[in-house]
A and B are shown apart, each in its own frame.
Chain A
Amino acid sequence: MDRRSFIQKAALTAAGSLVAPYILPSGRLFANSPNRVVNHVVFVLFGGGLRQQETVEQAYISSHAGQNTSGNILNNMLAGSAPSQNLVYTQWNPILSNPLMNQGTLFKEMRYENSPTGHYNAHTNAITGKQTATGLNLNVNPEFPTIFEYFRKHTGAAATDAWWISDSLGPYPSLNYSRHPNYGALYGANYLQPSTLLFLANQYFGGNLNYQPDDVERIDKVRNLLDRNFERMGEALPGIQNNRIDRERIKQFILNTLDRSQNGTLPIATPTNTYSGATGDLVNISAAWQVLETFKPSLTVINTTNSDVCHTNFSQYIQNLHKADYGVGWLWDKIQRDPVLANNTILICMPEHGRNLQDNNVFDSNGLGAFDHTGDQNSRRIFSLIAGPAGKIVQGGGFGSSVAPVGRTIDIVPTIAHALGFYNDIAGMVAGQPLLQAFV
């Protein structure tokens, strides 16, 4: 018996050995709220900072002195012709024949208000729906509840129903639950950082264990004996905890994903379906799809971070943005081909914040200046795209302008809560409002 079969059977053994049904955190069994607009929400948070100029304004390189070529580099998300000359990036044909803005509503001009334009702040802002003044990339759980905790506490969902998948480590592993005394790890999301697992873990998790389910039963039997003689609970360990059955499912999922990555059968969000040309963002999106396909979670939040190269290399920023857009289109295409997720999923895309209007005097090999995100008004300009099934999401809608912005980053949490049918439970706890303009 190989390791996969072992884990699969172990899960069944564990299921059979349970003498009481698993009680969900809220104390009630999970059932989809009748108020749900859809059963699944995927939130792609573009970390690193995206300028309005190169995204919704489709300026391409024309905002640089002496350059006048404009065009759309986000061809899966936005309608508009791609640049045809002065190319500083490799163009990938869009995977979607109909851009997402036509399959949903584009909030062309939103605001990232007040908080410092740092990655920890902006992520925390988007995931908690609260502004934060902390200006550092802290590796601490946020002060206020995350969308995952609101979702799980107020719907009774299991941990496998909420996922936070980040492109890198740093402060991001801490964002799957907050320090809030009424919420916390009990209601947190499962967290994965796929790049580390895919490229580092296989050498340590490799090989097979020739165990039968009764071997697992023996291990559990001795372990239970040991635990009875120790007063403290392993469950007191910090962090998210899954029940035994879900733990085995996740272990099997991780090992299967590693195997598929090794043997070349893991779908990768690139035109060649291989790692060739893949950025970290695309690896993350590819792994996120594995989570979506396997667990069909109600709530999945994914980030990208590669656009932050714009601090030093504008051309690479353009390239990475273009690829991240491809990843979003690839993910939406996968979702629409899945019998459970298709027509029952809302996709929300939003940059964490923008970037400065003025370059920082760092020029790349094409002579294009780079941009930081130090808090000027331009770095507070963002957009959001909410795509979903016709009849539930307004198709082709557009709101906001530079002089009359509509929406804030803190509105995404209530918008997700509205989509998943529990906004009324948290309305008094979040500062933002659902972006109802996007909903039919």
Chain B
Amino acid sequence: MKKFILIALCASLVACKKEINSTNTTVVDNYIYEVNPQEVYQSNADKDKQKTSNQYISILYSNLFQTAIPLQEITDLSQIRLAIGDKQIADELILNGFANAPNIQIPSNSQMRADVELFIEQTYLRFYLRKPTAYENLQLKQLIDEDPDLTPQHIYQSFALSNEYKYY
């Protein structure tokens, strides 16, 4: 409780910078994540703990479907992830399954290209819980601008498989 008060106090002190939102979620194992509110990191250097199996799957589901994962689904997928030794393989198979689901919440290619910078910021916030640096924004924008066939689905998969996404 003290920690929460401290975080809330700190958040109020720096609120004028618009860089930290207060949070009432704590990242622990077996936790069903709420979509909002979420802590926003100031940089990826703050991420030094690996997500557990349940954390990875829960957060991935929330990020892609914008709703909390059903309890039975997290239970099943955790079992499936245990049943495969190479967790990267398990994660990619689970991600492929999610990405192919009909109710995935993902912008269209035209929506992305109508405002690329907004898409990039929202994608970073959605997956990394932080805003992109200017350099990151520039790099990803270049890739999007150079390749008309690069879709939001590609980009979402890339974020979900990236190293940073495996940490919090």
Q: Which residues of A contact B (CB under 8 A)?
A: 3, 159, 164, 169, 173, 176, 188-197, 200-201, 203-209, 214-215, 218-223, 225-227, 229-234, 236-242, 247, 250-251, 254-255
Question: Are the CB atoms of B45 and A222 closer together than 8 Å?
Answer: no
Question: Are the CB atoms of A205 and B97 closer together than 8 Å?
Answer: yes
Instruction: Kindly provide the distance from the CB of B83 to the nearest chain A CB, expressed in whole angstroms.
Output: 4
- B8 interfacial by beta-carbon distance below 8 Å: no
A218 in complex: contacting residue of B84, B147, B166, CB < 8 Å? B147
Q: Could you show 28 A-B contacts with beta carbons less than 8 Å apart?
A: A169-B82, A191-B85, A196-B80, A197-B83, A203-B76, A204-B80, A205-B93, A207-B97, A207-B100, A215-B154, A218-B147, A219-B154, A222-B140, A226-B158, A229-B133, A230-B162, A230-B164, A232-B47, A234-B88, A234-B162, A241-B86, A242-B88, A242-B89, A247-B89, A247-B92, A250-B89, A251-B89, A254-B84
Question: Are the CB atoms of B50 and A236 closer together than 8 Å?
Answer: yes
Question: Are the CB atoms of B89 and A234 closer together than 8 Å?
Answer: no
**Which residue of A is nearest B80, CB measured?**
A201
Question: Are the CB atoms of B79 and A200 closer together than 8 Å?
Answer: yes
**Which residue of B is nearest A201, CB measured?**
B80
Question: Are the CB atoms of A197 and B84 closer together than 8 Å?
Answer: yes
A222 in complex: contacting residue of B73, B155, B167, CB < 8 Å? B155
**Which residue of A is nearest B164, CB measured?**
A230
Task: Please indicate the chain B residues that have their CB under 8 angstroms from the CB of A239 in the complex.
Answer: 85-87
Q: How far is the CA of A203 from the CA of B101 in the complex (A)?
A: 11
Instruction: Kindly provide the distance from the CB of A163 to the nearest chain B CB, expressed in whole angstroms.
Output: 9
Q: How far is the CA of A190 from the CA of B136 in the complex (A)?
A: 36
Question: Are the CB atoms of B45 and A231 closer together than 8 Å?
Answer: yes
Question: Are the CB atoms of B80 and A232 closer together than 8 Å?
Answer: no
Question: Are the CB atoms of A222 and B158 closer together than 8 Å?
Answer: yes
Task: Please indicate the chain A residues that have their CB under 8 angstroms from the CB of B65 in the complex.
Answer: none
B164 in complex: contacting residue of A196, A197, A208, A226, CB < 8 Å? A226
- B143 interfacial by beta-carbon distance below 8 Å: yes
Q: How far is the CA of A195 from the CA of B97 in the complex (A)?
A: 19
Given contacts A188-B85, A219-B157, A247-B89, contact A232 B79 (CB under 8 A): no
Task: Please indicate the chain B residues that have their CB under 8 angstroms from the CB of A197 in the complex.
Answer: 80, 83-84
Q: How far is the CA of A242 from the CA of B91 in the complex (A)?
A: 13
Task: Please indicate the chain A residues that have their CB under 8 angstroms from the CB of B87 in the complex.
Answer: 237-239
Q: How far is the CA of A204 from the CA of B97 in the complex (A)?
A: 6
Q: Size class of B's contact patch?
A: 35 or more
Q: How far is the CA of A280 from the CA of B68 in the complex (A)?
A: 33
Task: Please indicate the chain A residues that have their CB under 8 angstroms from the CB of B159 in the complex.
Answer: 222-223, 226
Q: How far is the CA of A238 from the CA of B81 in the complex (A)?
A: 13
Question: Are the CB atoms of A209 and B100 closer together than 8 Å?
Answer: yes
Instruction: Kindly provide the distance from the CB of B124 to the nearest chain A CB, expressed in whole angstroms.
Output: 10
Which 6 pairs across A and B sit closest by C-beta, in order of nearness?
Answer: A191-B85, A222-B158, A193-B83, A196-B83, A230-B164, A234-B163
Task: Please indicate the chain A residues that have their CB under 8 angstroms from the CB of B92 in the complex.
Answer: 247, 251
Question: Are the CB atoms of B80 and A225 closer together than 8 Å?
Answer: no
Extra A-B contacts (16), CB below 8 Å, given A234-B163, A237-B166:
A197-B84, A205-B96, A205-B97, A206-B100, A207-B97, A214-B149, A218-B154, A219-B157, A223-B162, A225-B139, A229-B135, A229-B164, A232-B47, A241-B88, A247-B86, A247-B92
Question: Are the CB atoms of A247 and B88 closer together than 8 Å?
Answer: yes
- B38 interfacial by beta-carbon distance below 8 Å: no
Task: Please indicate the chain A residues that have their CB under 8 angstroms from the CB of B82 in the complex.
Answer: 169, 173, 193, 196
- B106 interfacial by beta-carbon distance below 8 Å: no
Task: Please indicate the chain A residues that have their CB under 8 angstroms from the CB of B77 in the complex.
Answer: 204
Question: Are the CB atoms of A189 and B163 closer together than 8 Å?
Answer: no
Q: How far is the CA of A146 from the CA of B79 in the complex (A)?
A: 24
Task: Please indicate the chain A residues that have their CB under 8 angstroms from the CB of B96 in the complex.
Answer: 3, 205, 209
Give B33-87 interface residues, CB cut-off 8 Å to A: 44-45, 47-48, 50, 73, 76-77, 79-80, 82-87
Q: Chain A CB within 10 Å — which of B45, B80, B135 has the most?
A: B80
**Which residue of B is nearest A250, CB measured?**
B89
Instruction: Kindly provide the distance from the CB of A208 to the nearest chain B CB, expressed in whole angstroms.
Output: 7
Residue-wise, chain B 81-125 has the 8 Å CB interface mask toward A (1 for contact) of 011111111001110110111000000000000000000000000
- B14 interfacial by beta-carbon distance below 8 Å: no
